[in-house]
Amino acid sequence: MNSSTVIKIMAGLLPAAPITGELLDTQISQVNISDSESSTEGDSKYADYEGPTMEEEIAAHGGSNPIIKDTGAFNVQVGDTFNPLEGVYAIDSQDGDLTENIEVISDNVDTSEPGSYTVEYRVEDSSNRWYEYRRAIEVTNAPSDPVPMIPPTEAELEGGSEDSDEESASSAITFIGLEDITIQQGEEFNPKEDVEIIDVDGSDITHRAYISGEVDTSTPGEYTIAYAVFDHFGDPHAKARTITVE
CATH code (residue 30): 2.60.40.10
Q: Looking at residue 32, what is its pLDDT?
A: 32
Task: Specify whether 96 is located in the same domain as 216.
Answer: no
Is 121 domain-assigned?
Answer: yes
Cα→Cα distances 156→57, 69, 160, 166, 241, Å = 15, 20, 4, 13, 30
pTM (two decimals): 0.51
- Count: domains in the chain: 2
Task: Specify whether 41 is located in the same domain as 58.
Answer: no
Is 40 domain-assigned?
Answer: yes
Per-residue pLDDT of 109-131, as tens digits, reads 999 999 999 999 999 999 999 99
Q: Looking at residue 44, what is its pLDDT?
A: 58
Task: Specify whether 162 is located in the same domain as 241.
Answer: yes
Q: Which of 114, 140, 166 is the last residue of a domain?
A: 140
Task: Specify whether 203 is located in the same domain as 86.
Answer: no
Triad 154, 2, 176: Cα angle to 5°:
80
Q: Encode burial over 9-26: b for 16+ CB neighbours within 10 A, e otherwise.
A: bbbbebeebebbbbbbee
Q: Which domain range does residue 123 map to?
A: 54-140
Q: Looking at residue 211, what is its pLDDT?
A: 86
Q: For 219, what's the count of Cα atoms within 13 Å in the CB-facing half-sphere? A: 6
Average pLDDT over residues 95-111: 94
Task: Specify whether 110 is located in the same domain as 187.
Answer: no
Bridging pattern class, strands 221-230 and 210-212: antiparallel
